[in-house]
Amino acid sequence: MKRATAIICAAAICAAGTPFYGCAPQESEGTKYRITAAYDGGNTLEGRVETDFYNDTGNALDCLKFNLWGNAFREGAASSPVSEAAKADAYYGGESYGGMEITAVTGGEAQTGGDDMNILCITPAEPIYPEQRLTVSIAFVLKLANVNARTGVAEGAVNLGNFYPVLCAYGGSGWLEYAYCPTGDPFVSQTADYEVELTVPEEFLVAASGEQTAVNRADGNATYKFELSGARDFAAVLSRQFEVVTRQAGDVRIKCYCLNESGRSLADIAAESLAYFEETFGRYPYPEFSIVQTGLAQSGMEYPALAMISADCGDAVYTAVHEVAHQWWYAAVGSDQYMHAWQDEGLAEYSALMFFESHPEYGFTRAGLISTATRAYRAYFSVYSQLFDDADTGMDRALCDFAGDYEYANIAYNKALIMFEALREALGDGQFRAALQSYYSSYSASIAPPEGLMAAFCARADCEGIFESFIQGKVII
Ligand SMILES: [Zn+2]
């Protein structure tokens, strides 16, 4: 994500070959989602997601756990889905609420819970053993708040980020059950294949994460079909006002969905930066990329093969490059964004720096970007030292432990940018780039632990001390 802040803007064992419900012979393919959903033109999306889960966790699982991100927008949610700083821009028509209702579940006994009604737990009759599959189906109704946020009826468009129940990621100690947080991106999920059918009133155009394979029009509606492989999420944006501009970046088709004149230039910057990152880090994993202007209180938000950019964004070019970089650092190489936000945000920031360094015509320089981040970080440190006596500058913190957008932006973006600059100075340009290429090829389609990132660099130079001093907060900037 790019903030609009002052910083820069299931106990039976399957008999092989014996088919019975919820337990199938071993297959090598991963998890698949089949989503069908219909938008009513107002504030309701009704849908069903069938999840064909493949247990690659190595453990027998008693249940499957899904995130219900839509419930973060309900009245009475434990924390606001929008930060205090962004509320005035986000709630353009005043207070508004949404929510996600689960109307039917097959494949196991269902229970909604978690810290903030954010988790759906489905318990099948039998455990799911390693390398077995289980298919569950969830029918849901998503009520959309009127809000310029990832999920909601925004100004000019309808944002369908995190719009369906998606499996929690499975970590070493179990399912990662993170509640929504107004700061940062609390979304952690593993890659899967998607087939999505979205039905909308026919006057809407649909921008989506996947490759559009068909559109059928009937009875005043249009049904769009999309496919996307190896993606950790799927998002869409609907609008009556989109103008579509296309470009090509090598084999990748770029689609820019514009709401205003300034949006047209985003197609070029997206194509240019995507080509640069392919050459610098490795191949982009999808056939298409969509950059979409929409009503968004933040500057931008990343999804696999799609980025939302605020139609009011004052630094849209910089934001677009940052969001394109997230296709490498978030979409392809996943990380635990809730506990280690600096990992993908820092890399997206530093990747943007690298792009602008090699494209001086945009007016950003390496020295200028580092200087801006350093000044902002020092100002934050000074203010927080005065406010709290001893500013906590540790980087590994749960999102909800940040005091707000200001602290989060300075730690996860600015300080992380400065850390990658220190690493580059220690390794030299060639080894620094090689480390990033190694990290990308090693962890594409996975969730990389911070240690994996550190190992990619420290295999090339003695740099453990740099990571330690920055992450633990000891370094003086
Ligand atoms: Zn970001």
Provide the pLDDT confidence category of residue 143 given band limits of 50, 70 and 90: very high
Higher-confidence position of 13 and 443: 443
How close is the Cα of 108 to the center of ligand 1, in Å? 36
Tell me, what's the pLDDT at 7?
A: 38
CA of 101 to the centre of ligand 1 (A): 29
pLDDT tens digit sequence for 67-88: 999 999 999 999 999 999 899 9
Those residues whose C-beta lies under 8 Å from the C-beta of residue 131, and which sit 6 or more positions away, are 26, 54, 55, 56
CA 326 – ligand 1 centroid, Å: 7
60 CA → ligand 1 middle, Å = 35
Neighbours of ion ligand 1 (CB under 5 A): 1, 345, 348
Return the pLDDT at 3: 61
What is the whole-number distance in angstroms between the Cα of residue 254 and the centre of ligand 1? 20
Q: For 405-458, what is each residue's pLDDT tens digit?
A: 999 999 999 999 999 999 999 999 999 999 999 999 999 999 999 999 999 999
Structural tokens at position 277: 């990152």
Ligand 1 centroid, distance to 228 Cα (angstroms): 22
109 phi and psi, to 5 degrees?
Answer: -80, 130
- Each residue's pLDDT tens digit, 38-55: 999 999 999 999 999 999
Distance 412 CA to ligand 1 centre (A): 9
Is 240's pLDDT higher than 60? yes
Cα–Cα nearest to 151, from 259, 326, 296: 296
Give the pLDDT mean for 184-203. Answer: 97
Residue 236 in contact with residue 209, Cβ under 8 Å?
yes
Q: How far apart are CA 422 and CA 246, in angstroms?
A: 38
Distance 95 CA to ligand 1 centre (A): 27
pLDDT the model gives residue 424: 98
CA of 193 to the centre of ligand 1 (A): 24
Residue 4 confidence class, pLDDT cut points 50, 70, 90: low
Rounded Cα distance, 140 and 47, in Å? 5
Tell me the pLDDT tens digit for each residue of 273-323: 999 999 999 999 999 999 999 999 999 999 999 999 999 998 999 999 999
Residue 31 C-alpha to ligand 1 middle, in angstroms? 26
Cα–ligand 1 centroid distance for 2 (angstroms) = 5
Query: What is the predicted pLDDT for the residue at 185?
Result: 96
| Residue 21 banded pLDDT, cuts 50, 70, 90 | very low
Question: From the CA of 270, how far away is ligand 1's center (Å)?
Answer: 15
Q: What is the pLDDT of residue 390?
A: 75
For residue 172, what pLDDT is reported?
80
Q: In which band, very low, low, confident or very high, does the pLDDT at 19 lie, cut at 50, 70 and 90? A: very low
Residue 246 alpha carbon to ligand 1 centre in Å: 24
Confidence at 476, pLDDT banded by 50, 70, 90: confident
Residue 140 Cα to ligand 1 midpoint, Å, equals 29
Q: Quick one: pLDDT at residue 6?
A: 38
- Indicate the pLDDT class of residue 23, thresholds 50, 70 and 90: very low
Average pLDDT over the chain, rounded to an integer: 93
Residue 387 pLDDT level (bands cut at 50, 70, 90): confident
pLDDT band at residue 388 using 50, 70 and 90 as cut-offs: confident
Q: How far is the CA of 16 from the centre of ligand 1 (A)?
A: 45
Q: How far from the centroid of its chain's Cα atoms is residue 272's Cα?
A: 22
Distance in Å, CA 220 to ligand 1 centroid = 38
β-pairing verdict for 64-67 and 133-143: unpaired
- pLDDT attached to residue 55: 97
Ligand 1 center from residue 321 Cα (angstroms): 10
Please report the pLDDT score of residue 13 as a whole number.
31
Q: How far is the CA of 438 from the centre of ligand 1 (A)?
A: 21
- Residue 423 phi/psi, 5° resolution? -65, -40
Residue 140 identity: F
Full set of structural domains in the chain with CATH: 32-253 (2.60.40.1730), 342-471 (1.10.390.10)
pTM of the model: 0.94
pLDDT for 343 equals 98
- How far does the centroid of ligand 1 lie from the alpha carbon of residue 258, in Å? 21
Please report the sign of the dihedral spanned by the C-alpha atoms of residue 188, residue 190, residue 191, residue 196: negative
**What φ, ψ does residue 227 adopt, rounded to 5°?**
-135, 145
Q: Cα(301) to centroid of ligand 1, in Å? A: 7
Cα of 1 from ligand 1 centre, angstroms: 3
**Distance from Cα 51 to the centre of ligand 1, integer Å:** 28
Ligand 1 center to 215 CA (angstroms) = 32
pLDDT tens digits along 89-108: 999 999 999 999 999 999 99
**Pair of tokens at residue 399:** 């999102």
Can you give the pLDDT at residue 308? 98
Please give the distance, rounded to the nearest whole angstrom, from the Cα atom of residue 97 to the centre of ligand 1. 26
Higher pLDDT, 150 or 387: 150
Q: What percent of the chain has pLDDT over 70?
A: 95
Residue 296 Cα, ligand 1 centroid: separation in angstroms? 14
Q: How far is the CA of 20 from the centre of ligand 1 (A)?
A: 44
CA of 216 to the centre of ligand 1 (A): 35
What's the CA-to-centroid distance between 295 and ligand 1, angstroms? 17
Distance of CA 3 from the midpoint of ligand 1 (Å): 8
